[in-house]
Amino acid sequence: MAKSVVSIRPQRSVGLQRPLVLGILNVTPDSFSDGGRWEDAAAAIAQGELMAKQGADLIDVGGESTRPGAERVAARDEQRRVLPVVEALVDRGIRVSIDTMNSSTARAAARAGAEYVNDVSGGLADPEMFRVVAETGVKYIAMHWRGHSDTMQDNAHYDDVVSEVRQELKDRIAELLVWGVDPENIVIDPGLGFAKTAEHNWKLLAALPRLNTIGYPILIGASRKRFLAGLVEDSATPEARDAPTALISAMAAQAGVWGVRVHDIPSTMRALDVWSAWNAGAERG
């Protein structure tokens, strides 16, 4: 693995811009909050169009659940689920990212017009992934990951979660650069909930300014995750986590992230509107 040999020179200075909003579209029978709802292609396409109309900048289409304990899906089944949805959204002029760990799905989705590959494994699940990213020129989101969903919580052990996640993300960037990937095409993500306890997630959120010093755009995926459950009533539905999610979107914006990946677009748009108005007020003095 490429470590210290490669300089991963920062791609941008830290400045506050309104983050992009990625709308989550899980075309799966078993994702934890929306599993089964958009399994049918027509329903998924309609939901993607709705999220775009509500203000999502990108629709993140996924065909494999990564909730803790989930089983793997064959790449061809994943592609059968996601490709018609990617094609239809791209046809409608909607920007798409493909949430996949499989290089063959990444290649097919890039061919169908997906702008980003969002890989929760940061290239660790499929040794061909970085080759595909380099060859196709697709933009790439590398998430921090320590193993597949069935065993990932066994890897939620850190002496210093922020330093370790930061270093492991830098290692992914270094390897992407060795493959010849354009640094401007790389986004990183600390992977909330993936081999992380609630305490790890909060530490990583609080340390966003430090993660930002890596110098690459950061995506945050907190939406409706289990670590928010403690903030709402025990009997609450996953949708009850949209308000805490929206607040995280605004606080992440203040920490300078590039994007937030959410299920409910309107609540995050409102939170970001408040954040923008607040900052505009600060600029006017």
Residue nearest to ligand PMM (CB): 221
Cα–Cα distance measured from residue 285 to residue 283, given in angstroms and rounded to the nearest whole number: 5
Cα–Cα distance measured from residue 169 to residue 122, given in angstroms and rounded to the nearest whole number: 8
Q: Is 242 in the site for ligand PMM (CB under 6 A)?
A: no
Q: Is 97 in the site for ligand PMM (CB under 6 A)?
A: no
**For ligand PMM, the closer CB: 202 or 274:** 202
Q: Is 3 noted as a catalytic residue in this protein?
A: no
Q: Is 129 in the site for ligand PMM (CB under 6 A)?
A: no
Q: Which of 239, 148, 253 is nearest to 194 (CA)?
A: 148
The beta strand positions in 153-264, using DSSP E, are 186-189, 219-220, 259-262
Q: Is 201 in the site for ligand PMM (CB under 6 A)?
A: no
Q: Is 32 in the site for ligand PMM (CB under 6 A)?
A: yes
Query: Which of 9, 225, 270, 284 does the annotation list as catalytic?
Result: 225
**For ligand PMM, the closer CB: 199 or 273:** 199
Q: Is 192 in the site for ligand PMM (CB under 6 A)?
A: yes
* Binding residue for ligand PMM, selected from 21, 31, 165, 166, defined by CB under 6 A: 31
Candidate ranges 62-70, 124-132, 147-155, 197-205; the one touching ligand PMM (CB under 6 A): 62-70
Candidate ranges 13-21, 26-34, 76-84, 274-282; the one touching ligand PMM (CB under 6 A): 26-34
CA distances in angstroms from 201 to 108, 146, 179, 250, listed in the order given: 33, 14, 30, 16
Q: What stretches of 92-237 show up as alpha helix (H) in DSSP? A: 103-111, 129-136, 161-178, 198-206, 208-212
Cα–Cα distance measured from residue 255 to residue 257, given in angstroms and rounded to the nearest whole number: 6
Site of tokens 């193993």: 147
* Binding residue for ligand PMM, selected from 45, 75, 82, 120, defined by CB under 6 A: 120
**For ligand PMM, the closer CB: 34 or 175:** 34
Q: Is 81 in the site for ligand PMM (CB under 6 A)?
A: no
| Residue 24 C-beta: closest distance to ligand PMM, Å | 5
**For ligand PMM, the closer CB: 171 or 264:** 264
Q: How many residues bind ligand PMM (CB under 6 A)?
A: 20
| Residue 235 C-beta: closest distance to ligand PMM, Å | 21
Task: Tell me which H or E stretch contains 90.
Answer: helix 75-91
**For ligand PMM, the closer CB: 66 or 249:** 66
Coil, helix or strand at residue 279: helix
CA distances in angstroms from 162 to 203, 257, 259, listed in the order given: 7, 16, 19
Q: Enter the tokens of residue 121.
A: 């494994």
Q: Is 210 noted as a catalytic residue in this protein?
A: no
Residue 58, C-beta contacts closer than 8 angstroms, at least 6 positions apart: 20, 21, 22, 23, 95, 96, 97, 115, 116, 259
Contacts to ligand PMM by CB under 6 A: 24, 26, 31-33, 62, 66-67, 99, 118, 120, 141, 143, 189, 191-192, 219, 221, 223, 261
What positions carry a catalytic annotation? 225, 261
